[in-house]
Amino acid sequence: MNKKDVLSIVGGVVVLVLIIIILGIGFGIWKVGQYQKGVSVLTDKTGYANGDSLKVKIENRLGEKICFSSCYPYYFEKKISESMWKSYSYSDCEAINLVENCINPKEVKAFELVLPTLEKTSHRLAIPVCIECNPQEPFRQEQWFYSDEFTVN
């Protein structure tokens, strides 16, 4: 093998490595873009007892303002099977269901609630939202977002 052949092989390997690096960077940028879209709803712990304080953080990465109901800003759901959830029943709202709080894109809303008496099983919060609505107008649920799963012991 002469020097020209060796240089050609080395050049081919360098080009191949550069292509792999560029594809890896492109995939990483694509994954970050996928992560940035949506709404994350995170609880502060994975396990609670009835009556405990549950801290929730909602991060808006949709690119649009999201707003919450004045009557039912969240629902508790219990896990029925690996892929099925059932919402706890709630009493009717005593007031007009209006848009109460909103989160602009890239903003975070945090709140704390005291757990009511729930079954001792896996749960999550279900958060109904309207998109690009305005405070004090009637709430219209357009999408649902869900918290991470937590257990009540």
CA distance 134 to 62: 17
The dihedral formed by the CA atoms of 44, 45, 49 and 55, expressed in degrees to the nearest 10 = 0
The type of residue at 92 is: D
Tens of each residue's pLDDT in the chain, 153 residues: 776 666 677 667 777 776 777 776 766 665 555 445 789 999 999 999 999 999 999 999 999 999 999 998 899 999 999 889 999 887 788 889 999 999 999 999 999 999 999 999 999 999 999 999 998 999 999 999 999 999 999
Tokens of 101: 């709080």
Closest CA to 147 of 57, 12, 21, 42: 42
The type of residue at 58 is: I
Q: What is the pTM of this model?
A: 0.72
